[in-house]
Amino acid sequence: MPEPEVFDESVVKVERLLRRVAFIVKRRGRDILADFGITNPQFNALLALKEKEHMTMGELCEKLMLACSTATDLIDRMEKNGFIVRNRDTQDRRVIRLAVSEKGQQVITEVLSARRRYVASMLEKLSEEEKTQLAQSLDRLHSLMFSEKVNP
């Protein structure tokens, strides 16, 4: 078995803390979604469709990295629950475009508000300086990770 890599303690600590925070936020996010009767994959699809309206199923599959059969089942359930609507393309009637319904828009707004209330309840325990520092550090880390993803 190969020897494990040795990392600086700060790297180990930051990785562990990011993983733990992400786990807690994800778990709390699932609880919030359950209150609205929507699953995490459905909510991710709503956010993707809100970001780029009138996507085709293929575009959504690519964006969410889902198999088309999985996405079709997901969209069928979301349409049945009134979160999205399917519309024929005006240029090519064979193409179906997906859009967030009014109910779906409302769910997005309410879920994001509930998530932000949770984060706010945690951040209120920090000083203004700590909040500013945290936001700047996370923004910088995100920028580094994003540029690495875009320019490997």
Hey, how many other C-beta atoms are within 10 angstroms of the C-beta on 72?
Answer: 14
Statement: the pTM of the whole predicted model exceeds 0.85:
no
Rounded CA separation 80/58 (Å): 20
More confident site: 28 or 1: 28
pLDDT tens per residue, range 92-114: 888 889 999 999 999 999 999 99
Rounded CA separation 64/49 (Å): 10
Strand partners, 88: 96
**At residue 45, does pLDDT exceed 70?**
yes
Does 11-124 carry CATH code 3.60.20.30? no
Rounded CA separation 21/54 (Å): 34
Calculate mean pLDDT across residues 136-141: 94
- Degrees (nearest 5) of the Cα angle 101, 103, 104? 65
Domain ranges of the chain: 11-124
Confidence class for position 24, pLDDT limits 50, 70, 90: very high
Calculate mean pLDDT across residues 50-56: 91
Rounded CA separation 43/46 (Å): 5
Q: Using alpha carbons, list the distances in angstroms from residue 35 to 6, 31, 113.
A: 43, 7, 13
Calculate mean pLDDT across residues 129-139: 96
Q: Which residue has the tokens 């209120």?
A: 124
The chain-wide mean pLDDT, for the chain, equals 91
